[in-house]
Amino acid sequence: MQKPMDAVISPDGKHVAYVLSRTNWEDNANESDLYLAEVGTTKSLKLTASRKSSSAPAWSADSKQIAFLSNRDGKQQVYLIPVAGGEAMQLTDHETGVNSFEWADAGKIYFLAGDAESSAAKDRKKQYGELTVIDEEYTMSHVWRVKVGDTPKQKAERLTEGDFTVMSIAVDKTGSQLAVVTRKNPDLSTLGAKLQILDPATKALRVLAETRNQFSRVVWSPDSKELAYTTPGEVEFSYYVNGFIEVRPVAGGAARKVSGTVDEQPILVDWTSRGIYFLARNKTSMNAYIANPASDSPRELNLPSGWTMNSVSLTQSLDKVAFIGASTSQNLEVYVTPSTSWAPQAVTNLKVQWAKFQPARREVVSWKSKDGATVEGVLFTPQNFDRTKKHPLLVIIHGG
């Protein structure tokens, strides 16, 4: 069964680029292709058809091109494809491949890539085979920049280096500065992170904030003067707590919390002229909020219960929202809804792949936990389910 991923609406609101997963039975692999949907219809055009995967689409500011990642020729690289038609062009030809990227403006793409193997490491591998010293040898990732043009396999310029790894990047609206989250190494058990500002013109890094835990999903304010991000704060055991959203001035100064009393892990969507959009789970449903960056009292948006969503994006004019969603009666589809009202319209028709199956009935059930908290789950039963009879029960537990 194909599953939608990485949906993003074009700045002009006319199309949605998205990814569908597929199974390559011959190579025993999960792979994915890039699609283009026309808003207001369920017409989709398959943009890629290579044996390997395509993912992570990003739109140009003029909505005429899509950049995406693909490993079709070996290492994962950045490709460009015109929306009007034509073949994809390989933009990068990085030795170690591209981990992730951001399209800053019409002329530049910034990306993260792992460091190349040293000559000594290559010689050792040649003599002894694969050998890694645990907790001592790491592949660090750093920031690179490549120009966007008509020439394939452009040479990239390195912007950061040193004995640290860059976990994520966020480019401001002007493309003149980057927010980068760095850590001592990429080991997930390593605590501590820095939020830094990178000047791509001088390659200078400036530490804006440090934490014993982590900074996640950094976004810029529309005027490029502040940053929003999620963090668990300075608690000792951050794996067991929900994070919150902070806003911090780029020029320096104290951070302020803006996610209010929302007692779930916030999923930061974007910072627009209307405020900071974010999502948070409400048991088996999803709630949406908009936060005023000047206060700690976010406003909950009116969404019906029973819906979950991810991969949320907005148009440049903020009139439309695209997302991947599912309800209690529908499986995952890519939707577009007006931003001021809830009227989702599917731009995919993935339900057809389920037509030959008899769908299970879904019912939200709840019970009291040992500490008195109400816990919810989803009960799946067959169409011919008889409640007067005993049936075997398979329980799938989320470990938290």
The domain limits of the chain are: 4-359
pLDDT reported for residue 399: 63
Least confident piece of the model among 111-120, 142-151, 293-302: 111-120
CA distance to 270, 277, 282, per residue, from 289 (Å):
11, 6, 12
Instruction: State pLDDT tens for residues 15-66.
Output: 999 999 988 888 888 889 999 999 999 899 999 987 789 999 999 999 999 9
Summary mean pLDDT of the chain: 92
> What element of type H or E holds 66?
strand 65-70
Do residues 272 and 228 make contact, with C-beta atoms less than 8 angstroms apart? no
Least confident piece of the model among 60-69, 117-126, 260-269: 117-126
Instruction: State pLDDT tens for residues 184-195.
Output: 999 988 889 999
pLDDT reported for residue 127: 76
Phi, psi of 366 (to 5 degrees): -140, 155
pLDDT reported for residue 104: 77
pLDDT confidence tier of residue 247, bands split at 50, 70 and 90: very high
Give the tokens for residue 34: 């890039």
Q: Which fold has domain 4-359?
A: Methanol Dehydrogenase; Chain A (2.140.10)
C-alpha angle 140/192/218, rounded to 5°? 80
Q: Is the pLDDT of residue 172 over 90?
A: yes
